[in-house]
Each structure stands twice: as C-alpha cells, then as structure tokens.
Amino acid sequence: MERVICVISYDGTQFSGYQVQPNGRTVQEDVENALQKMHKGKFIRITASGRTDAGVHAKGQVIHFDSPLVIPEENWKKALQTLLPKDIRIVDVQKTTEDFHARYGTKRKEYRYRILNSVDPDVFKRNYTFHVPDKLDLQAMNEACTYFEGTHDFTSFSSAKSDVKGDKVRTIYEAYCYVDGDEIIFSVTGNGFLYNMVRILVGTLLEVGKGRKTPATIQEIFEMNDRSQAGKTAPPQGLYLWDVDYNEKQRSQV
Amino acid sequence: MERVICVISYDGTQFSGYQVQPNGRTVQEDVENALQKMHKGKFIRITASGRTDAGVHAKGQVIHFDSPLVIPEENWKKALQTLLPKDIRIVDVQKTTEDFHARYGTKRKEYRYRILNSVDPDVFKRNYTFHVPDKLDLQAMNEACTYFEGTHDFTSFSSAKSDVKGDKVRTIYEAYCYVDGDEIIFSVTGNGFLYNMVRILVGTLLEVGKGRKTPATIQEIFEMNDRSQAGKTAPPQGLYLWDVDYNEKQRSQV
C-alpha cells in the first residue's frame, strides 16, 4: 500500500460541505467515488485536514489515502482530475509514508475571508464573497486583529452549539486584513480552529469596521467567555480554507 | 402605459442563453416571469439590446418593456429584484418615452472577454474566464487589435452557420487588451456584432498571442472572407456584454 497526499481546491457553492452526509453532494463523496472508479470498485477512504461547511471553499485542502496502486504522482493527478467534477481540482499529488496523517499531523492552517466592500453587489461574486456596502475602517479592523493573535480561550468566538469536547484554547499566529481591489481580505493563521470560529471572528471584525465596537472590545469579549458578546457569524461563501501546513518532517512533502 | 428601461447584470453560467427557448432556463423568461407576478398574471414582453448565448454573461444588458403600473423608479428596482433569482441583478431602472427601443436604438456596444493567463487553472474562475496557460504576447495582441478597428466586412470573423441576412459590414470603434492581475482582458466596442464574432476575434487574437499568426495576418484574413482562416471560437464563459450605449437623445437615459 502507498500513502498518497492530495492538495485539492474546490468551489463550495454546489456542495453540502466537505464531509459525507445522508443528503446532498459532498466533496468527500465525490473524491471517494473517483478513487473507487480508479480501484475497480474497491472503496478507498480519504482523510482530510478538517471539514468545511456548505458553501465554504478551499484553495488548498489536504487529504490522504492509502492505495494498492503503483502510479507515478503526475499520473495520479491526471487520472483523478479526469474522474472529478469541474468544481473540484487536484492541485498537487505526492506520495508519502504511513506516518503522515492529513488531520492529526496539521501544524498550521490559514483561512481567508473575502468581503466585497462596494456600494452595489456583484452578481459574479455572489458565491465567492460576502457583500458589505458599509464604509469599513480598515485600520481599526487591523488593530482588532492584533487582539486575536496569541493563545486564547476562543469560547466567545465559537458556535455555542459546538460539540467539541475539551478546551477551546487555540493559538493564532497571525491575523490581518488587506485591500484587494474592491475587496477586503481577512487572513488568519493558527494551530487550530473551533466550529464557525473564523466566521465569528469576521462578524466581530465587521462590527469594529463599522465603528460599532472599538478594537479593544475584543479583549473584553475574550474575558466574558460568552458567544453572544461577539459579532454575528459571517456567511459561508466568503470563507476559504487557504493553506494547511504540516510538521517539520512532513512539511517538505506538501 | 409607461415605457421602462432596465439595466441588468447576469451570471450566464446557469442559463441556456438570454432568449426564451423550449428547453432550458433563460434570462428573458425569468425576467418576464417576475414582471408577470408584478402585473397580477398579465404577461409583459421585454425587449433586450440583443441576445447572449448559453454561458455568456452580462454586466450591463439593457431591456425595455411597457407597463400599465405607475411605480417610482427605485421601487421598480426593489420589486423586480425581490422576484428575480440570485443570478440576475437589476442595476438600474429608468422611465423613458415610447421612442426608446432597447434593440433598434443601440449606438455602441462594448463586450469584454476575460482570459485567465496562468499556468494552473482556477476552480473559482472556471465559469468566468477562459483558461489559457500558454505565454501570450500582449504587445502583438494589441497590434492585432488595431487591424480590427474601423469598418470591415466581418465574414471571416462570424459563424459560417450565421443566419444573418444582408451584409456583414460592421464598425469597430475601439479594440484593445490589458492586463488585470493574472488575466488578460480584451475590450471591443462597435456599432454591432455578428453571431459569435467576439469569440472568433478572441480565438484569432490568441493565435497571435501564441505567435502562430502575425498581427498583420488579420488584414489577410479580412480579405479572404473565409471563416476557416480565423482562429477557433473561444468558449462562452469568458464573454461579457459589458455596456450598451444609445443615441444622443437616449443616451442620457441609460
């Protein structure tokens, strides 16, 4: 058996999310179906770095699987791409060893969130950005970002419905906003993220950008450990799982 | 009766084109259905500046219709938008007089074509650009553009299956290419366009960009009046009906 790493990019618009579920199209199911065809009907389980919700996109999701086939990396890429729908793209395929694990080996993940900050909505970006027509204070948003950085209990910034057991302490290595044309992009890199966390960070940043909260309020929200103190959960279509990094030994492989 | 002008923007991905046809979703049908709801079941015919094919987008398509309703312009915009699917957007609504005609009154139309000129395809742009990984010579393409400008018989640059009666002489006022990030955009403005004409101009420009034709070849292709001398028809998803201009009296209204 060979362990294979795939970096995949997908447009989440037409998916009910990454993970297989009884109803609706999922990324996992489409990739597993493609692999099953390549393996003459044999089911091949894939493991991803993590799930993404319905409508959320991925620029660099990482998955691994084990296969009895012996195929050069470039041919894996071509064969899989041919069997996949157009909204999933194989970015890269690399062979690895069995100590690589796409989920448990993650070291850093970067998410980005695209805010379309224009007066009028854009029909071509409706599935790829969150349209916010209000004037936004980029400097205040970036000041707020500095409060996200570091190691904190993110209880206030995760879904109250979250079924995560254990602590909600996570480390954010870097968080910032930048302008790209008529968009404001939020980038956040951390060692892990709770359910809905990035979308709640964005919802809170927007409160700051609109002048309804000061950047320093972020500190108070952390201290209250209360989801209702943070901003609304921003909608899924602006969110992208951008990049996944693995530990030193494995990083060179992805 | 009041004559109403609407500027609409639509994502052509999920449409079988602009014009009503027996099978498949069309922009015209969706807009007429919305108007019919507003008019308590009464059918309202709309007239557009021209058709667009399946997969082709519009940033500023112009339509007109006559309505017995007396509604302020801003309310027309809101009411129609509420009844339309998310891939059609009302950009502007203006009342006009009955001498305005969205099709026969056109003076200039601008089309743009987005070429994604990157090594790798982009899953998020697959429905909005034509991916061309080859190195393209922008200067040569712009030189070729100058041959398009002026008044010519565009027989070589229109679909051989075209059912257009009469001459194929059209005037191009302006044609040029420019870089926008990882894209090359072709803009062409003229007094009218034949079936598939912009997509054939793009296909021919790409031959020039790849070095397979010299810019001066464009002149020879015009002279041959032979569709097979020009480049392939570029795919629909890169094409946008960008802007429609009306004659002096009417221009101020749109």
pLDDT above 80: residue B163: no
A10 and A31 together in one domain: yes
Chain B residues at the A interface, defined by Cβ less than 8 Å, are 9-11, 57, 86-89, 91, 120-121, 123-124, 126, 128
Q: What's the token pair of residue B225?
A: 């009046």
Q: What are the residues of chain A with a beta carbon less than 8 Å away from any beta carbon of chain B?
A: 9-11, 57, 86-89, 91, 120-121, 123-124, 126, 128
- B187 belongs to a structural domain: yes
Same domain, B214 and B184: yes
Q: Within a domain: residue B46? A: yes
Q: Which residues pair with A63 in a beta bridge?
A: A6, A48
Q: B120 and B212 share a domain?
A: yes
Binding residue ranges of A for substrate: 111
For residue B164, tell me if it sits in a domain. Answer: yes
Confidence of residue A40 (pLDDT cuts 50, 70, 90): very high
Domains contained in chain A, number: 2
The per-residue pLDDT for range B45-67, each reduced to its tens digit, is 999 999 999 999 999 999 999 99
Same domain for A99 and A83: yes
Tokens of residue A113, six digits: 């969130």
- pLDDT tens-place string over residues A118-134: 999 999 999 999 999 99
Residue that finishes a domain, picked among A53, A84, A104? A104
| pLDDT over 90 at B252, yes or no | no
* Predicted confidence band of residue B254 (pLDDT cuts 50, 70, 90): low
ipTM metric: 0.90
In a domain, B249, yes or no: no
User: Is A119 in the same domain as A213?
Assistant: yes
Q: Among candidates A48, A180, A27, which has minimal Cα distance to A109?
A: A48
Q: Are residues A14 and A78 in the same domain?
A: yes
Whether residue A253 lies inside any domain: the answer is: no
Say whether both B132 and B69 belong to one domain: no
Q: What CATH number has the domain bearing residue A235?
A: 3.30.70.660
Cα–Cα distance, B239 to B253 (Å, whole number): 26
Same domain, A112 and A238: yes
Q: Are residues B145 and B226 in the same domain?
A: yes
- Shortest Cα distance, chain B CAs vs residue A249, angstroms: 27
Q: Is the pLDDT of residue B191 over 60?
A: yes
Alpha-carbon distance A236 to A233, whole Å? 9
Asked whether residue A152 carries a pLDDT value surpassing 80, the answer given is yes
B176 in the same domain as B93: no
Residues B75-86: tens digit of each pLDDT = 999 999 999 999
Domain of residue B61, CATH code: 3.30.70.580
CA distance A25 to B222: 49
| pLDDT at B202 > cutoff 90 | yes
Identify the domain boundary among A55, A83, A104.
Answer: A104
Nearest to B124 among A91, A123, A128 (CB): A128
Mean pLDDT of A175-195: 97
Residues A183 and A133 in one domain: yes
Domain holding A179, by residue range, is 108-243
Domain boundary among B104, B131, B153: B104
pLDDT at B138: 98
Is the domain of B121 the same as that of B229? yes
* Planar angle of CA A170, A176, A181, nearest 5 degrees: 140
Chain B environment of A10 (Cβ under 8 Å): 123
- Is B53 an annotated catalytic residue? yes
Q: Which residue ranges of A are tagged as binding site?
A: 111
pLDDT bin (cut points 50, 70, 90) of residue B162 is low
